[in-house]
Structure 1
Amino acid sequence: MTAHSWRVLGATGFIGSAITTALRSRDVQVTPVATPRLASPATTVHHLIEHAHRLESVIDYLAESFAGADTVVNAAGLAAPDQTHQQSLTGANALLPVLVALAAHRTGVRRVIHMSSASVQADAPVLDESIRTAPFSPYSFSKALGESALYRLHSQWEGEDRAPEITVIRATSVMGSDRRTTRLLARFASSPLSSVAGDGTAPTPVTSVTALAQFTASVGEFPGALPPVILQPWEGATTGSVLRDAGRRHPTSLPPWLCRAVIATARFGSSVVGHRYAGLIRRLEVTWFGQRQVPGWAHEHHVIPEPHVQEILRQAHLALGR
């Protein structure tokens, strides 16, 4: 299927703007859609979908915005791994995807791509493309809830001719030269604190927003059926290469047992204050230990974007002026 008309929610955001640029570079007709601001007290899929059905005016607005579109990308959401205000996170990361799917179903959109996060699988030894989730923070819970609700809708609509195909793309640790997370990584990598657990050869899911945008465009244009979950492909980064590219210096090699002890102590301290620092601790853990991921759908179907992570990390280092 080659989509000739796209809508993108979150088109002015970090990931959405990159996707919009990638689509326009392919001469794809793309229209940004303004994102409604939402909040929800729902903590289960049932109550989330129930809440969505009550927001008829929002569904109407989105359906009108989607009229004539073949593909809708939801790149909107609240990218705040350290935030603890659950209702805002649930509204942006779980309720909105349901409303997008309901509006797409009403309008006859053929394909909905929801941009999610690999954080829904927390500290799994290997990231995969199963619908299994294990959230560890308010942010990852909201992303997992949104995914689960979309799977529920997909199963309810199975067999309907006009039902949209719904696919979740799980972005990994996405870097952009202007992103705050990337700037913080570059500062860490440029400092004497720069360190890895072991020899620094462990694969890490640190990726580039450029490659993610290209990949999303390719997924949307893929002519065959899509699976429920697609994991953003690995760009070849290791724990050591990420810090060398972002800091232009070799990181210190720390004993893995010491790093594990630090992470365990930090998690205990975070649990005492309501897991407030869970996101920060997880980022440190990935920096030290990395995380493997399955090759997945992208490799099976040869939909691999050109890697840009090294380029983006080096740009972030240069921006520090060091």
Structure 2
Amino acid sequence: MNSTPPPAGSSQDQVWAVLGASGFIGSALATALDRAGITVRHLKAPRISARSTDAAGLLAEAAELADQLRDLTGALTGADVVVNAAGLATPSGADSPELRGANALLPVLVANAADAAGVRRFVHLSSASVQGHRPVLDESLQVEPFSAYSRSKALGEQALGARAGGRCSVVIIRATSVQGPARATTANLMKIAASPLASVAGRGDSPSPVSSVDALASFVLTVGAQPDGVPALVLQPWEGATAAGVLEAAGGRPPLRLPGWFCRGSLKAGYAVSSLLGERLHGSLRRVEMMWFGQRQEPGWAEATGNVPAPRVEEVLREARRQRG
């Protein structure tokens, strides 16, 4: 795994607390931190539910969680950086207090605890899905969530942005479509890529935001280690993948090329049916849309400052395919 360590000579003194360190992204980050010589605290995120569906309501609910705040503050005391890699990754799930609690209320609670504990930086992992069907992903506050999951992640971003300024620097990273050998999403991608369903719109040379967990872990390390100058919201950098390249790396064969008009018409009809079913199919349709058309990314802070991690996505997909035989 390629990782960018903190400034020279400081890694031995660094303590990072990672919520969700046993999960897919959290475990990859913990490994990268260990290799960089950084002390890692593995923290389990508290299970909380949220009644509110707006930022103001979430801030009020977070203020009510005195016991959880006290426990988290104690666990974070002495840490230099806190990373929230916890949450419910359920792109096709329905809205629920548990979903909003894990993806929207928890980030606010952790930010409050980080302030109280004197932590230097809090890095919250959000999702590029908050911008939904926008033709280009960017680092703006504009969001177009299209499902319960993406709405819960967008609500978490909005609630963090609505907090009064504290001592702790808060940075939101919008992770893109992160893949790795241990992820069920990657296994599903490989099945589709190796099947007759593997297809792209037109030539398949459109940029794809499919990314590697290695590059994301490296980017989180870079963002957390920066002494200052990091914006409040940054987008995980593009790894140079294309729609066709992703499918070929994951499936070991070139995908079928379909007419763009056919793909657009099929998606329009599919989303119409899904809307009648309470958005039940929105998550699956979005995955098909990404497979066919990909999604462009606007260069952001990482590109402007030379903090783009080494691209690994096609290598990771080929390795995952080899591991699964």
Asked if Structure 1 and Structure 2 have the same fold, meaning a TM-score greater than 0.5 normalized by the shorter chain, the answer is yes
1:52 aligns with 2:56: no
Deviation at residue 223 of structure 1 after TM alignment:
2.6
**Match for 1:140 among 150, 173, 182?**
150
Distance 2:270 2:321 in 1: 28
Distance 1:283 1:262 in 2: 13
- Structure-to-structure mapping, 1:165-314, within 5 angstroms: 165-314=169-318
Deviation at residue 85 of structure 1 after TM alignment:
3.6
Query: What residue identity is the alignment partner of 1:133?
Result: V
Conserved? CA contact 2:24–2:182, under 8 Å: no
Deviation at residue 320 of structure 1 after TM alignment:
4.0
Distance 2:140 2:105 in 1: 21
Which SS does the other structure have where 1:105 is aligned? helix
Structure 1 residue aligned with 2:3: none
Deviation at residue 304 of structure 1 after TM alignment:
1.2
Which SS does the other structure have where 1:81 is aligned? coil
How far does the alpha carbon of each residue in 1:108-136 deviate from its partner, in whole angstroms, 9 at most, with x for none? 11100000000000011100001121111
The number of residue pairs the alignment matches comes to 315
How far does the alpha carbon of each residue in 1:265-297 deviate from its partner, in whole angstroms, 9 at most, with x for none? 110111111101111111110110010001100
1:95 aligns with 2:105: yes
Structure 1 residue aligned with 2:85: 75
Q: TM-score, normalised by structure 1?
A: 0.96
How far does the alpha carbon of each residue in 1:241-280 deviate from its partner, in whole angstroms, 9 at most, with x for none? 0011111111110000000111111101111111011111
Conserved? CA contact 1:218–1:303, under 8 Å: yes
Q: Show structure 2 runs of 5+ residues with no match.
A: 1-5
Distance 1:280 1:23 in 2: 34
**Match for 2:41 among 28, 31, 43?**
31
Query: What residue identity is the alignment partner of 1:114?
Result: H
Structure 1 outlier segments of 4+, above 6 Å: none
Structure 1 residue aligned with 2:134: 124
How far does the alpha carbon of each residue in 1:81-102 deviate from its partner, in whole angstroms, 9 at most, with x for none? 0110421110000010000011
Conserved? CA contact 1:187–1:320, under 8 Å: no
Distance 2:106 2:283 in 1: 22
**Match for 1:19 among 29, 40, 56?**
29
Deviation at residue 206 of structure 1 after TM alignment:
0.4
Distance 2:308 2:95 in 1: 36
Which SS does the other structure have where 1:73 is aligned? strand
Distance 1:224 1:101 in 2: 18
Distance 1:286 1:224 in 2: 34
Q: TM-score, normalised by structure 2?
A: 0.95
Select between 82-91 and 107-116 the one with higher mean Cα deviation.
Answer: 82-91
